[in-house]
């Protein structure tokens, strides 16, 4: 897998297609530009959001950042979305330079960690799981993309 990704915002078309009333787990704050890393995995184009104040382990947490924050910043796998339609991807954007360097250096690790999260999600959806596993995916946005995931 080549090291290919883009940094974008999600488009207005994305938010029109996925309104908060029907998709409550998606990020929907109107005046907040959500930045995502867009990467192709197994034929689907995933948008993995950058988040501040991540409080769980289903993510990649940056070790270095230039942002003034006392919380954990990173890429949140639980809020990943599938954006196969190019109209769902918005404008290109930039991130903090230290985070960009770390993202480039840790690309394969981050994608591998997300792929493991995704594989575990698919296994859970196909086979079920205990209460711990159920809670792990309770708020995952992947639940809105069953068709794309072959479920």
10 contacts 34 by C-beta, under 8 angstroms:
yes
> Mean pLDDT throughout 56-66?
81
User: Taking residues 14-31, what's their average pLDDT?
Assistant: 85
Q: Out of 70-74, 137-141, 145-149, which region has the weakest mean confidence (pLDDT)?
A: 70-74
Which CATH class, in words, describes the domain spanning 6-145?
Answer: alpha beta
Cα–Cα nearest to 76, from 105, 46, 54, 93: 54
Identify the CA nearest to 141 among candidates 11, 53, 22, 39. Answer: 22
Please tell me which residue, 75 or 31, carries the higher pLDDT value: 75
Task: Delimit the domains of the chain by residue range.
Answer: 6-145
């Amino acid at each position: 897998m080549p090291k290919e990704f883009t940094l974008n915002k999600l488009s207005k078309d994305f938010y029109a297609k996925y309104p908060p009333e029907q998709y409550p787990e998606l990020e929907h704050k109107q005046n907040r530009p959500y930045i995502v890393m867009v990467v192709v995995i197994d034929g689907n184009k995933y948008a993995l959001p950058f988040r501040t104040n991540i409080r769980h382990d289903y993510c990649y947490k940056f070790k270095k950042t230039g942002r003034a924050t006392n919380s954990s910043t990173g890429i949140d796998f639980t809020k990943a979305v599938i954006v196969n339609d190019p109209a769902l991807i918005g404008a290109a954007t930039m991130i903090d330079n230290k985070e960009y360097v770390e993202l480039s250096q840790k690309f394969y690790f981050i994608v591998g960690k997300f792929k493991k999260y995704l594989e575990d999600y698919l296994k859970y959806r196909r086979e079920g799981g205990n209460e711990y596993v159920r809670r792990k995916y309770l708020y995952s946005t992947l639940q809105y993309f069953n068709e794309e995931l072959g479920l």
